[in-house]
Amino acid sequence: MEYSRKKFISFIGKASLGAFIMPQFLTSCGNTTTPATNFNNISKEKLNQLKKIVLENLPPSDKDDLLLANGLNYHTIIKWGDKINNKDTFGFNNDFTCFIPIDNNNPEDGLLWVNHEYVNPLFVSDFDHRKYDKPFEHRTIEQVDQEMYNVGGSIIRIKEENGRWKIVENDPYNRRITGKTPIKLNWDSPIKGVTTVIGTNSNCSGGITPWKTFITCEENYDSCFGETEYDDNNVPTKKPSSLGWEKFYNYPTEHYGWVVEINPKDGTAQKHIALGRFAHECCTLYELADKRVVAYTGDDKNNEHLYKFISSKPSSLKEGTLYVADTINGKWLALDWENQPILKNKFKNQTEVLIRAREAAKLLGATPLNRPEDVEIDPITGNIFVSLTNNKDKNDFHGSILKIEETNGKFDALTFKSSTYKAGGEESGFSCPDNLAFDLSGNLWITSDMSGSSMNKKDKPYMPFKNNSLFVIPRYGKDAGKIIRVASAPKDAELTGPWFSPDGKTLFLSVQHPGEQTKDKNNPTSKWPFDKDNIPKPAVVAITGDLIEKMNKLNIIES
């Protein structure tokens, strides 16, 4: 990072930007694991073109459609239930997306990973819990199997032809990872007696490794197999899940809540125990000069924490130390059983510390945060940005974006400075920030996640914002630093998983849970994407157009 900073300073000199570079301006592409190093090559002409871009700020809308600002258009690549090959179909509630080209010289042909976060049983397994006083007594194993199939992730080969991305049906790379796929633990000790577990679920956001594999993160795992809770005397009790899968499959909940790595080429997967167990929203990796890795990951729950793992060996997500943030004092605190007496007192060993990371973090004095979600690294400044979605219990309804500046710009530093970069609210025009992505010019794109039950409700503070949206904070020109709405989601939906294609011509985006508030399938609250069968379907879209290409013009990111 120091290297990047130096380069950046010389870039400022060369391009004579002067006051144009202010701390409020961001950058790092959600797609990259290494910061930009080619600032010197930026042409003044391209920079001037970027400064002249006129952005349309879409007004808030409650329309049941995916609305886009001028200069943008979209087509659907794949939706829930579509065939990916002769035996498999695309799962439900697509979230994180990540595109890796098969050949680095051809950005128009590659493998797209898509997370399938959770299911709505009303649509997926035809189970309506509202019909019953004791709904779990009416569940069948077939319904649970359907649900387990529809979570996890998909790998699909996609190609762009004449401006449209299409799945290559039956491509040998196409495959599903589901709630039943066997997955190895990247750890020396078994967990609950095994070293290979069954399935992944609650796959929310993710990341990419420097060695070009997919990362998918298990977030609200307690909704599938419940949670083990401990009282003050360390006595465990089982808290049931909301989906009730544990009534059919006796899989320990300790097998979920991890960061999972997927090999794009063969679909093999592993769970990285060293990164701790909690509701991982995402995992954002940075490769140090000596090839050791630093991984940032947030625990998306009220009053939970921000973590970072620093590896002690090159390219390892096993050997190293997990830290948790004390944002008040600017310290990374080690979840290290061997060297922290307070952890040695409470837990049997390091494996238990990692399984019960939330408790260990609190013992060390970690700062409770307002739902830390996505994390992205600015490729120009190296600052780290963290969405804090909200914390209604603390009257933080609109959330904020936290900025972390590691000491001396070193990602393996154990101290840092933190500050609020942007606060949500009516004045700033956005509420509940969730996914973040930097484009190839260093503009920051943000999606919002107001809950379906609160959106467009007269008695809720979310009314002025209407439907969830996609925003951009331009880095250059007259709108620099402003928060501009460029897309509005269909009814009840959330826009998730923004990811730019390597040539900067496409923004891949998930439209997740349209029509989530539906009570009667025959009368859904949304019909997007307006399929023949008239029910809402989560889908991945490609956003293209003049504006995407112009915004990505600078191409400062080396991938």
Q: Which residues bind ligand FEO (CB under 6 A)?
A: 117, 204, 219, 281, 300, 373
Pick 64 or 281: Cβ nearer ligand FEO: 281
Counting contacts by CB under 5 A, is residue 434 touching Ca ion?
yes
d(CA 335, CA 323): 6
From the list ligand FEO, Ca ion, none, partner contacted by residue 219 (C-beta under 5 to 8 A by kind): ligand FEO
From the list Ca ion, ligand FEO, none, partner contacted by residue 492 (C-beta under 5 to 8 A by kind): none
Least Cβ distance, residue 426 to ligand FEO (angstroms): 23
- DSSP per residue, 494-555: EEEEEEE-TTSS-EEEEEE-TTTT-S-TTS-S--TTT-TT-----EEEEEESHHHHHHTTT-
Q: Please report where in the chains the tokens 């293209």 appear, as a residue.
A: 544
Asked, as a colleague might, if the bond just before 514 is cis with ω within 30 of 0, I would say: no
Q: Which residues contact 75 (CB under 8 A, 6 or more apart)?
A: 164, 165, 541, 542, 544
Pick 496 or 525: Cβ nearer Ca ion: 496
Return the residues of window 178-237 that contact Ca ion according to CB under 5 A.
204
Least Cβ distance, residue 434 to Ca ion (angstroms): 4
Pick 371 or 550: Cβ nearer ligand FEO: 371
Longest dimension (CA), the chain: 70
Continuous segment of H or E residues that includes residue 109: strand 109-116
Least Cβ distance, residue 445 to ligand FEO (angstroms): 16
Stretch touching Ca ion by CB under 5 A, among 25-33, 62-70, 177-185, 432-440: 432-440
- Residue of 18, 38, 30, 66 whose CA lies nearest to 511: 66
d(CA 489, CA 512): 9
**Amino acid occupying residue 249:** Y
Pick 95 or 439: Cβ nearer Ca ion: 95
Q: Please report where in the chains the tokens 């299409």 appear, as a residue.
A: 166
d(CA 552, CA 432): 25
Pick 176 or 371: Cβ nearer ligand FEO: 371
Pick 222 or 406: Cβ nearer ligand FEO: 222
From the list Ca ion, ligand FEO, none, partner contacted by residue 326 (C-beta under 5 to 8 A by kind): none
Distances (CA, A) of 85 to 225, 277, 351, 534, 555: 29, 33, 39, 24, 35
Counting contacts by CB under 5 A, is residue 449 touching Ca ion?
yes
Least Cβ distance, residue 449 to Ca ion (angstroms): 4
Residue nearest to ligand FEO (CB): 204
Least Cβ distance, residue 165 to ligand FEO (angstroms): 24
Q: Please report where in the chains the tokens 């920030």 appear, as a residue.
A: 433
Half-sphere exposure of 250 (CA within 13 A, CB side): 1
Q: Please report where in the chains the tokens 């090959």 appear, as a residue.
A: 85
From the list Ca ion, ligand FEO, none, partner contacted by residue 405 (C-beta under 5 to 8 A by kind): none
Q: Please report where in the chains the tokens 């197999």 appear, as a residue.
A: 225
Least Cβ distance, residue 510 to ligand FEO (angstroms): 11
Pick 219 or 352: Cβ nearer ligand FEO: 219
| Residue 56 φ then ψ, to 5° | -90, 125
Counting contacts by CB under 5 A, is residue 117 touching Ca ion?
no
From the list Ca ion, ligand FEO, none, partner contacted by residue 304 (C-beta under 5 to 8 A by kind): none
Least Cβ distance, residue 217 to ligand FEO (angstroms): 9
**Amino acid occupying residue 30:** G
Least Cβ distance, residue 519 to Ca ion (angstroms): 23
Rounded to the nearest 10°, the torsion over CA 392, 429, 525, 436 is: -80
Least Cβ distance, residue 268 to Ca ion (angstroms): 25
Pick 115 or 501: Cβ nearer ligand FEO: 115
Stretch touching Ca ion by CB under 5 A, among 23-31, 71-79, 441-449, 537-545: 441-449
Per the structure block, which two tokens stand in for 260?
Answer: 């999972």
Pick 178 or 468: Cβ nearer ligand FEO: 468
Residue ranges in contact with Ca ion by CB under 5 A: 204, 434, 449
